Amino acid sequence: MTRTNRPLATRWPLERVLFAMAGSITLLSALLSAVVSPWFLLLTAFVGVNQWLYVSLRACPASLVLKRACGLRSSLYPAPVTTPARPTRV
């Protein structure tokens, strides 16, 4: 499989998708607050809170959904490696 034929989930890590989503929603809320109502700035605040959740807790609602629905993996916080349990001696 060549690089251009790979699905998007294998090319972009979770952080890159989250950054793109946050930027898009922030720009959309700024546009909507200028055109429709200043109350749309609450959407910008919601995006900022979610970004801080991801930085401090390594997870936010969007990251959990993207991990499960799209199978995206984090490049900053790899999944913990689990070791098989050793059998106990009696």
44: in domain: yes
Number of domains present in the structure of the chain: 1
- pLDDT reported for residue 10: 55
3: in domain: no
Q: Which residues form the domain of 31?
A: 9-70
Q: Residue 46: pLDDT band by 50, 70, 90 thresholds?
A: very high
pLDDT above 90 covers a percentage of the chain that reads 40
Identify the DSSP state of 34.
H
| d(C-alpha 37, C-alpha 35), whole Å | 6
The stretch 1-26 carries a mean pLDDT of 76
Backbone φ and ψ of 40, nearest 5°: -70, -10
Going by C-alpha positions, the residue among 30, 13, 10, 20 that lies closest to residue 51 is 20
pTM for the full predicted model: 0.68
pLDDT at 43 over 90: yes
| d(C-alpha 71, C-alpha 60), whole Å | 15
